[in-house]
């Protein structure tokens, strides 16, 4: 039992700006967590060597008898099925066999999935989704990601890329998305989408207190505070965002009939300010049979730890042979 | 082994006009199949006694030593989870605990699901979907139904009503649907939807040969023939239908990433006439990562037998204890 308790896994969440990681024991306790700059504009080899040497050093510092059994990674455009990172936007890394490259340096199995699936796995194992067999985790960051649970398992789909709810089209001929389509959900419901909307609302409402803030400094907290003071620009912004989000959720409900949507990260902190109008819009776009069957909730996982814990949940599955990898 | 080979199950597919049923042995061979009028305007008890006495008689006539181990039913708005038929449109039956009522008369377990799930199960076990773990069966009848397979299992969702792809909104402020929403996919892609479209096309193209057919008699075969003769109304009709269908499929791909869509019943007979424009539209509405990952196919199951075989697949699962029922 002594040795058993020295088992650990590492969870890594690669973000556009920073990469967070944690070393986690069998009880799900984060023994140590840190953040390093990702530097996606530099070659991948820089990130690889920098992150692995730092993490291995930390494991050793914790206790030299700790044994890292597996590493789980939440990777933008990461594919669980083949261990590849597929040329994510804002990175110069192109297509990288990221799982096998990390595995060589860590000398243990490395499993990857995309960041939204990692958050969903964390939610299922440690968060508010523990009681749900059918739920959808919506991650609100720069973009909008989603991780689907059906019958208690995450859905990868045939291509491994299931869960691209950010690219459901909610407005025909709407805002142009980087993916090439227009009117994608994430062009309205994400950091970049909401910033675009508030900009439009501020033009319509010159009296808004938010016009006193330099636009580059404006963030969700400012909009939340203004909303609480009945600022018309803020109220209109969340009303419109909720309308669009509700449309997207209704589509997913008609297809999958989940019990809950869990919102994680970024603008999920707006809570009921955003979710009240979202729920109205969702119900307006649903058949009667689905009305009242779906709960909207904000995640209870601390921002940053959700994806780390999810990645470690996957790592334990690999360490304990519940999942076999093909890479 | 003698007795074992006398095992059989019954598959029943309740349709708006006719109900088809089949008696099927362990090899999936349909020993006998028949159709009876459903008469949904009469009380449910009429249908119940008429159908059960006729089917029991047939089993007995086949061979008095045949033993019916279970009955599977494809039921409009049928819910696998609770065995209820939920007030389907065009029936006067309201909410009926259909599984338990049939079970009493058949004296064996009765399992139900909706008609699209039954077709998907038939496709998975006996049809072109045998090789797919992730596929979506699209049933084209009066309306549009869908049955989802994820990781080799049918998806019921939390409510039991997953797969209502007919009610994805593909046209904001579009045609009014009986469900209360407007712009639902089935208002464009289904018997009623396509008939509405061809009516509009025929007004724009008075020269069309289809104008020589009394509208009530006009059917898919007429439109197919006209299409093959480059009739502008028919070409425009399938072009528009494919455009709408492609939008709906793209949404489902972004969420679930299936390997294939299989089209069963009614207008699926149009085949490539409809699927060519559908595929174009689907790809136009998809992110690059999904392009080329999805096949569109017409079912190879004879119309009418698909749902019967699917219902029997479910019946065998119950007969052989792979599924436990809560009703």
Q: What is the pLDDT along chain B (327 residues), one digit of tens a residue?
A: 445 678 999 999 998 888 999 999 988 899 999 999 999 999 999 999 999 999 999 999 988 888 999 999 999 889 999 999 988 877 899 899 999 999 999 999 999 999 899 999 999 988 999 999 999 999 998 889 999 999 999 999 999 999 999 999 999 999 999 889 999 999 999 999 999 999 999 999 999 999 999 988 999 999 999 999 999 999 999 999 999 999 999 999 999 999 999 999 889 999 999 999 999 999 999 999 999 999 999 999 887 788 899 999 999 999 999 888 888
The whole-number pLDDT of residue A2 equals 45
Residues of chain A contacting residue B181, judged by C-beta atoms under 8 Å apart? 285-287
- Interatomic CA distance for residues B240 and B311, integer angstroms: 33
Residue A104: pLDDT band with limits 50, 70, 90: very high
Residues of chain B contacting residue A296, judged by C-beta atoms under 8 Å apart? none
- Interatomic CA distance for residues B114 and B137, integer angstroms: 12
* Closest residue in A to B286 (Cα–Cα): A181
* Closest residue in A to B169 (Cα–Cα): A251
Strand pairing report for B18-25 and B7-14: antiparallel
- CA terminus-to-terminus distance, chain B: 31
| Highest CATH level, class, for B4-119+304-319 | alpha beta
Residues of chain B contacting residue A172, judged by C-beta atoms under 8 Å apart? 171-172
* Closest residue in A to B180 (Cα–Cα): A287
Contact residues, A window 15-74, toward B, CB-based 8 Å cutoff: none
Residue B135 to chain A, least CA–CA distance (Å): 9
The whole-number pLDDT of residue A1 equals 45
- Interatomic CA distance for residues A115 and B242, integer angstroms: 34
A6 touches chain B (CB under 8 A): no
The whole-number pLDDT of residue A300 equals 92
pLDDT in tens, A316-326: 999 999 888 88
* Closest residue in A to B87 (Cα–Cα): A289
| Average model confidence (pLDDT) across chain A | 93
Interface contact flag, B169 A251, Cβ < 8 Å: yes
- Interatomic CA distance for residues B149 and A88, integer angstroms: 29
- Interatomic CA distance for residues B159 and B116, integer angstroms: 16
Interface contact flag, B151 A148, Cβ < 8 Å: no
A178 touches chain B (CB under 8 A): no
pLDDT in tens, A45-94: 999 999 999 999 999 998 888 899 999 999 988 999 999 998 887 789 98
Interface test with B, best of A186, A257, A262, A295 (most B CBs within 10 A): A257
Backbone torsions φ then ψ of B309, nearest 5 degrees: -65, -40
For residue A303, pLDDT over 80 is answered with no
A273 touches chain B (CB under 8 A): no
The whole-number pLDDT of residue A182 equals 96
Residue A4: pLDDT band with limits 50, 70, 90: low
The whole-number pLDDT of residue A266 equals 86
Q: Is B253 left (phi over 0), alpha (psi -120 to 50) or beta?
A: alpha
Residues of chain B contacting residue A286, judged by C-beta atoms under 8 Å apart? 181
Residue B255 to chain A, least CA–CA distance (Å): 5
Interface contact flag, B179 A287, Cβ < 8 Å: yes
Residue A327: pLDDT band with limits 50, 70, 90: confident
B173 touches chain A (CB under 8 A): no
For A299, the 3-state DSSP assignment is coil
Interface contact flag, B254 A293, Cβ < 8 Å: no
Interface contact flag, A133 B158, Cβ < 8 Å: yes
Interface contact flag, A134 B157, Cβ < 8 Å: yes
Fold of A132-298: Nucleotidyltransferase; domain 5 (3.30.420)
Q: Which two tokens stand for residue A45?
A: 């080899």
For residue A3, pLDDT over 60 is answered with no
- Interatomic CA distance for residues A221 and B118, integer angstroms: 50
Residues of chain A contacting residue B293, judged by C-beta atoms under 8 Å apart? 158-159
- Among A165, A167, A290, beta carbon nearest to B161: A290
Residue B193 to chain A, least CA–CA distance (Å): 18
Instruction: Annotate B297-309 with b (16+ C-beta within 10 A) or e (fewer).
Output: bbbebeebbbbbb
Interface contact flag, B158 A285, Cβ < 8 Å: no
Assessment of whether the complete model's pTM goes beyond 0.90: yes
What sections of A36-110 are H helices per DSSP?
44-62, 98-106
Residues of chain B contacting residue A247, judged by C-beta atoms under 8 Å apart? 169
How many residues comprise chain A?
Answer: 327
Q: For CATH 3.30.420.40, list the domain ranges present in chain A.
A: 4-119+304-319, 132-298
Residue pair B262/B298 in contact (Cβ under 8 Å)? The answer is yes
- Among A148, A155, A181, beta carbon nearest to B287: A181
DSSP string, A66-77: -EEEEEEEE-TT
For residue A178, pLDDT over 90 is answered with no
Residue A314 to chain B, least CA–CA distance (Å): 18
With 0-12 / 13-18 / 19 or more C-beta atoms within 10 angstroms meaning exposed / middle / buried, residue B204 is exposed
């Amino acid at each position: 039992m002594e040795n058993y308790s020295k088992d650990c896994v590492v969870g890594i969440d690669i973000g556009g700006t920073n990469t967070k990681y944690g070393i986690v024991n069998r009880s799900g306790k984060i023994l140590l967590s840190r953040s390093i700059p990702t530097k996606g504009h530099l070659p991948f080899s820089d990130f690889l060597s920098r992150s692995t040497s730092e993490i291995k050093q930390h494991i050793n510092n914790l206790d030299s008898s700790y044994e890292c059994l597996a590493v789980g990674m939440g990777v933008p455009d990461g594919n669980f099925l083949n261990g590849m990172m597929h040329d994510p936007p804002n990175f110069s890394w192109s297509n990288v066999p990221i799982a096998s490259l990390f595995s060589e340096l860590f000398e243990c199995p490395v499993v990857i999935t995309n960041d939204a699936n990692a958050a969903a796995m964390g939610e299922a194992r440690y968060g508010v989704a523990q009681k749900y067999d059918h739920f959808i985790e919506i991650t609100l960051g720069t973009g909008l990601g989603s991780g689907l649970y059906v019958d208690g398992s995450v859905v990868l789909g045939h291509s491994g890329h299931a869960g691209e709810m950010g690219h459901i089209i909610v407005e025909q001929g709407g805002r142009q998305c980087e993916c090439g389509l227009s009117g994608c959900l994430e062009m309205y419901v994400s950091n970049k989408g909401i910033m675009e909307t508030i900009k439009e609302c501020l033009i319509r409402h010159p009296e808004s207190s938010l016009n006193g803030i330099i636009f580059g400094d404006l963030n969700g907290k400012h909009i939340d505070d203004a909303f609480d003071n009945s600022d018309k620009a803020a109220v209109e912004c969340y009303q419109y965002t909720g309308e669009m989000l509700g449309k997207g959720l209704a589509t997913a409900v008609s297809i999958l009939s989940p019990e809950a949507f869990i919102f994680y990260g970024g603008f999920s902190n707006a809570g009921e300010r955003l979710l009240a109008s979202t729920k109205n819009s969702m119900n307006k776009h649903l058949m009667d049979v689905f009305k009242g069957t779906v709960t909207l909730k904000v995640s209870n996982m601390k921002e940053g730890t959700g994806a780390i814990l999810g990645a470690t949940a996957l790592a334990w599955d690999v360490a304990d042979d519940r999942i076999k990898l093909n890479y």
